[in-house]
């Protein structure tokens, strides 16, 4: 934290200086037309995110460019007495308008993007350790003629590799100021700020490359001409070598990119990450769970019983808490992925998995999202941004919710306990089977989609394998914070709305407490008058339980459960399970607490002793007296929950990442059809084998 | 071409030719060997990305790892690339190493 403290101090200094002559009070947004905007552009792996964070601190906002799924990061900083908007453009090798990112960056820099005024200037980030390759993009950016300041990053690593760059010569070659920086440690950032202040001064010297030789001499390819220039400039400005030898990286790569050892190493790394996710995240998850339960009970004590209390406790706190409880897993996952990415390892992971993933028609980059989906599909879908090809990315997003995420664990646990109580080996096999089914279903569906609705060979791999580096904790933490904010915003909007809707459906119309409950309450009153408070409390709890059970059965949700029973009967489900499926539409683990209420166990009883739920589920009978939870019904319920969508957070993030409602609706549709048909087949087969 | 100097001209690139005798596809040079790119078949859809990363005519390339995908080194950076794409790059083996020391 010392690093961020230092940055904060610097921030305060900047703010102090600037408050002397400000025209606008700090924090007040200047009108867009007058706001100064600087765009940050550079190669992938050049340290762009780190530099952006060093300049803007915690104030960055992440969204998409309008109409695209290309990430748009905007932060603000103060330069001289101006509030300056810093726009982070996607990492690019070229501005040639071949990929959507290149086209977009080019349009932004030329001021051709709607709602995005042309930037006043550019920070061109160059990696000192691979200067020649970086100069290619530089040649295109400088040609645009916008005021430009070059930030030469990773000069510390360049020095260590005995690359000596003559800054004055480089400035002369490029025709703009060059500031050596180490974005990771903050070295040179103050100098960079001063150069930027000079750049945005209206009366300042005109910067940018004035004399640009035309690169397309029309006798050859523009790539050649620009790269010839880049190599010449590289040779002129450096006295020693121009590129790092990279012996260490080569030695590590000999192991980590090896055909088989590399795959084994990758699986071990990911296994370690997942073990950490489940181990580290369980503590904050327990705290969040306990926190929401505590807030619920406090509100329960402060407010009189009634609809408003029920709305707050069961609808809002229960619903949002049930989703937010996965926040720690999402954060831990993003934190470790950001660290791995920063070391340069994730590129190797994509490289070694590429050969294997091609068999299902997907690129190697789809593998990390697929593994992440076993913790939670939400961060997994967000990480699919690394997949360049639109179709590959869509197919990956579509199948990700089929992998067994951690929200399914409570459901699997419940069903396993029903099927094989006190038999850990068999229970372990059920879990393994559920996970395997999810993986097989996802890979098969990926193949199907690649052959049908999104046809085409997957894009051939072209991937830079950057030199290994010590990762920046600060960058990883800021990335994690950024993703967490997106998730919380979702939980606060769409998920909150649906939770309230589901609460309403399960609570209305109100019905009178059943006769049995009224009798119990009357008995309890009598016991209170005779002083037997313990027994009275027991009877009252029993009465509440009966009231909740009959209330839910007569509610809209209960009626809907009965209404869809004919559809669910071929799967072996009764109307109670129907209520469970409907109520867990937003979050699948909700079915456990719903079934507890439907079968009259009471949620508090289940918390205290999960066995009480399993016992009453096992005791549940149909109208003809046969048990509901036969082997066939339990197995089909398990399969249904492996394959069905049942997660509103995933739907919301699919909507965000595909920028259309079409794909989340399609995802919901195909998964429901898949879940229904497979469950139907399995249930009917099991019935034939007399397990129903 | 005057209107947009950043655009490449694939047809011109494909028609360039220098000494056809020694040219071999990139996926056929030996590991650890250095070669100079003499031709890139720009008709392949995804090759632009590879060219933008420095695998274009005139650059020196070293093969770091064979197989599919393979690893190249160009301008001091490592690039993982599918053999399918690498086949479209023709190279001529060259002397000296690629770090300006030979």
A559-610 pLDDT, tens digit each: 998 899 999 999 999 888 998 898 888 788 778 777 777 776 666 666 666 6
Residue B38: strand, helix, or coil: strand
A223-268 pLDDT, tens digit each: 888 898 998 998 899 877 666 667 889 899 999 999 889 989 988 8
Cα distance between residue A69 and residue A396, in whole Å? 15
Query: Model pTM?
Result: 0.78
Give yes or no for a contact between A363 and A354, defined as CB atoms under 8 angstroms apart: yes
CA atoms within 13 A on the CB side of A174: 37
Does any CB of chain B come closer than 8 Å to the CB of residue A461? Answer: yes
Identify the pLDDT of residue A310: 81
Is the pLDDT at B7 greater than 60? The verdict is: no
A505-540 pLDDT, tens digit each: 888 888 888 888 888 888 888 888 888 888 888 888
Chain A residues within an 8 Å CB radius of B78: 246, 249, 253, 464-467
Mean pLDDT of A150-174: 91
Residue of B76, B79, B98 to mutate, testing the A interface (most A Cβ within 10 Å of its Cβ): B76
Mean pLDDT of A198-216: 59
Mean pLDDT of A195-220: 61
Identify the pLDDT of residue B84: 87
Chain A residues within an 8 Å CB radius of B76: 129-130, 132-133, 242-244, 246
Give yes or no for a contact between A155 and A161, defined as CB atoms under 8 angstroms apart: no
Chain A residues within an 8 Å CB radius of B46: 459-460, 462
- Range picked from A172-181, A217-226, A457-466 for highest mean pLDDT: A172-181
Among 3.40.50.1970, 2.30.30.90, 3.40.50.2000, 3.30.420.40, name the CATH number for the domain at B19-93: 2.30.30.90
Percent of chain A's residues with pLDDT above 90: 29
A263-285 pLDDT, tens digit each: 899 888 877 887 787 788 888 88
Top-level class of domain A2-237: alpha beta
Q: Please, what is the average pLDDT of chain A? A: 83
Mean pLDDT of B71-93: 91
Does any CB of chain B come closer than 8 Å to the CB of residue A252? Answer: no
Query: What 8-state DSSP symbol labels residue A177?
Result: -
Residue of B nearest to A43 (CA): B53
Identify the pLDDT of residue A601: 64
Query: Between residues A614 and A39, which one has the greater pLDDT?
Result: A39
A293-306 pLDDT, tens digit each: 888 888 888 888 88
Identify the pLDDT of residue A666: 97
Helix (H) or strand (E) holding A447: helix A424-451
| Spatial CB neighbours of A454, under 8 Å, sequence gap ≥ 6 | A391, A394, A395
Is the pLDDT at B5 greater than 50? The verdict is: no
Break chain B into its structural domains and give their ranges.
Answer: 19-93
At A330, the pLDDT band (50, 70, 90 cuts) reads confident
* Complex ipTM value: 0.78
Cα distance between residue A594 and residue A334, in whole Å? 31
Give yes or no for a contact between A465 and B71, defined as CB atoms under 8 angstroms apart: yes
Helix (H) or strand (E) holding A462: strand A462-465
Break chain A into its structural domains and give their ranges.
Answer: 2-237
Chain A residues within an 8 Å CB radius of B16: 220-221
- Taking the alpha carbons at both ends of chain B, their separation in whole angstroms is 38
């Amino acid at each position: 934290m010392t690093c961020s403290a230092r940055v904060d101090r610097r921030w305060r200094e900047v703010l102090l200086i600037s408050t002397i002559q400000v025209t606008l009070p700090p924090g007040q947004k200047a009108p867009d037309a007058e706001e100064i905007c600087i765009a940050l552009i550079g190669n992938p792996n050049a340290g762009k995110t780190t530099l952006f964070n060093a300049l803007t601190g915690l104030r960055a906002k992440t969204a998409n460019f309008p109409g695209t799924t290309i990430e748009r990061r905007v932060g603000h900083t103060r330069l001289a007495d101006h509030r300056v908007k810093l726009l982070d453009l996607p990492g690019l090798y070229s501005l040639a308008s071949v990929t959507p990112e290149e086209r977009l960056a080019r349009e932004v820099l030329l001021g051709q993007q709607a709602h995005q005024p042309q930037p006043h200037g550019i920070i061109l980030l160059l990696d000192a350790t691979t200067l020649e390759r970086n100069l290619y993009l530089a040649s295109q950016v400088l040609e645009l003629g916008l005021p430009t300041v070059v930030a030469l990053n990773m000069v510390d690593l360049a020095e260590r590799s005995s690359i000596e760059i003559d800054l004055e010569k480089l400035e002369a070659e490029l025709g703009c100021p060059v500031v050596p920086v180490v974005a990771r440690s903050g070295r040179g950032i103050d100098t960079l700020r001063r150069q930027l202040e000079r750049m945005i001064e209206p009366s300042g010297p005109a910067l940018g490359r004035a004399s640009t030789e035309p690169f397309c001499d029309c006798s050859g390819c523009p790539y050649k001409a620009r790269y010839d220039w880049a190599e010449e400039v590289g040779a002129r400005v450096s006295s020693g070598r121009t590129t790092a030898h990279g012996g260490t990286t080569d030695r590590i790569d000999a192991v980590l990119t090896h055909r088989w050892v590399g795959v084994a190493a990758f699986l071990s790394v990911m296994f370690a990450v997942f073990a950490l996710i489940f181990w580290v995240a369980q503590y904050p998850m327990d705290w969040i769970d306990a926190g929401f339960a505590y807030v619920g009970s406090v509100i329960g004590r402060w407010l009189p019983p009634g609809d408003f209390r029920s709305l707050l406790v069961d609808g809002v706190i229960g619903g949002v808490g049930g989703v937010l409880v996965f926040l720690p897993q999402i954060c831990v996952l993003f934190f470790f992925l950001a660290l791995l990415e920063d070391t340069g390892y994730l590129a190797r992971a994509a490289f070694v998995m590429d050969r294997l993933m091609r068999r299902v028609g997907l690129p190697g980059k789809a593998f990390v999202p697929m593994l992440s989906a076993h913790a939670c599909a939400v961060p997994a879908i967000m990480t699919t941004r690394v997949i360049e090809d639109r179709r590959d990315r869509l197919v990956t997003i579509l199948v990700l919710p089929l992998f067994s995420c951690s929200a399914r664990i409570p459901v699997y646990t419940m069903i396993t306990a029903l099927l094989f109580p006190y038999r850990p080996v068999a229970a372990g096999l059920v879990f393994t089977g559920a996970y395997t089914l999810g993986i097989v279903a996802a890979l098969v569906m990926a193949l199907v989609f690649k052959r049908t609705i999104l046809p085409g060979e997957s894009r051939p791999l072209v991937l830079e394998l950057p030199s290994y580096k010590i990762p920046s904790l600060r960058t990883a933490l800021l990335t994690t914070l950024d993703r967490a904010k997106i998730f919380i915003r979702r939980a606060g909007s769409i998920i909150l709305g649906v939770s309230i809707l589901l609460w309403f459906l399960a609570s209305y119309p109100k019905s009178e407490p059943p006769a049995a409950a009224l009798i119990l309450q009357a008995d309890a009153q009598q016991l209170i008058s005779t002083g037997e408070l313990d027994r009275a409390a027991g009877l009252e709890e029993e009465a509440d339980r009966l009231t909740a059970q009959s209330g839910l059965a007569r509610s809209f949700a209960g009626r809907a459960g009965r209404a869809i029973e004919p559809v669910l009967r071929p799967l072996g489900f009764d109307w109670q399970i129907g209520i469970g499926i409907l109520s867990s539409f937003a979050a699948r683990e909700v079915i456990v607490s719903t079934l507890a209420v439907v079968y009259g166990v009471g949620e508090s009883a289940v918390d205290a002793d999960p066995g009480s739920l399993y016992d009453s589920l096992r005791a549940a009978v149909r109208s003809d007296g046969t048990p509901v939870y036969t082997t066939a019904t339990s197995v089909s319920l398990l399969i249904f929950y492996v394959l069905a969508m049942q997660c509103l957070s995933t739907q919301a993030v699919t909507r965000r990442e595909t920028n259309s409602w079409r794909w989340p609706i399609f995802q919901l549709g195909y998964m429901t059809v898949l879940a229904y048909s497979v469950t139907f087949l399995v249930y009917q087969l099991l019935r034939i084998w007399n397990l129903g | 071409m005057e209107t947009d100097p950043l655009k490449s001209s694939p047809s011109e690139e494909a028609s360039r030719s220098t000494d056809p005798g020694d040219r071999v596809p990139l996926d056929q040079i030996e590991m650890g060997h250095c070669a100079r790119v003499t031709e890139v078949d720009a008709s392949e859809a995804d090759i632009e990305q590879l060219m933008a990363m420095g695998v274009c005519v005139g650059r020196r390339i070293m093969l770091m790892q064979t197989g599919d995908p393979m690893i190249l080194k160009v301008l001091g950076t490592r690039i993982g690339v599918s053999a399918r794409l690498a086949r479209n790059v023709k190279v001529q083996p060259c002397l000296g190493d690629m770090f300006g020391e030979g």
